A = this chain, B = another copy of it.
């Protein structure tokens, strides 16, 4: 009924939905097959394991954030926070799961591939100027949290992952104000 690539994508789409709703550990392969209207065996033709489905799902987002980490040193705080807002919105369906579900990180840890913590650390570190006192680190955490989780809340609230320029600007400047010491 479909070529391999297409079927593969349908599996990933359903997996993302279910992993988001019930968590990775809370979703069985039978659940997945049920939602797809196929058999479990069919799934195993396209992926070697449930874990591999998760890995395939996380591959793209992880790469996008890794890219941002390498660019981070050259970006201003405003540019960096803007990219965080953009990426979070674009990957909003995934971003909640990425560092929200403990069973996701546990599964990735088994494969020594849990990057989410490193990414978060690298990006907040990039927001702190070289000397970087404790206060500045705190503000960086707050600003990053505002950008990321503020964007997630906004996407949920607005019902769309397409942020208008005005909305984007509001999120970035809110995060930026959290970063800067003086009123």
Contacts and interface: CB of A to CB of B under 8 A. Distances in A.
Question: Max chain B CB contacts within 10 Å: which of A19, A102, A144?
Answer: A102
Nearest to A139: B174
Interface stretch (A60-68, A72-80, A175-183): A175-183
A20 B102 contact: yes
Given A142-B150, A177-B183, A178-B178, A23 B22 contact: no
Interface residues of A, number: 47
Given A100-B102, A106-B21, A146 B142 contact: yes
Given A142-B146, A142-B150, A167-B138, A22 B21 contact: no
Interface string A109-130: 0000000000010001000000
A80 B152 CA distance: 21
A146 B170 CA distance: 14
Interface of A: 19-26, 97, 100-104, 106, 120, 124, 134-135, 137-139, 141-150, 152-154, 157, 166-167, 170-171, 174-175, 177-180, 183
25 contacts: A19-B102, A20-B102, A22-B102, A23-B25, A23-B26, A24-B26, A25-B25, A26-B26, A26-B102, A101-B102, A101-B103, A134-B167, A135-B170, A138-B157, A138-B174, A139-B174, A141-B150, A141-B154, A142-B150, A143-B146, A145-B153, A146-B175, A149-B149, A174-B178, A174-B179
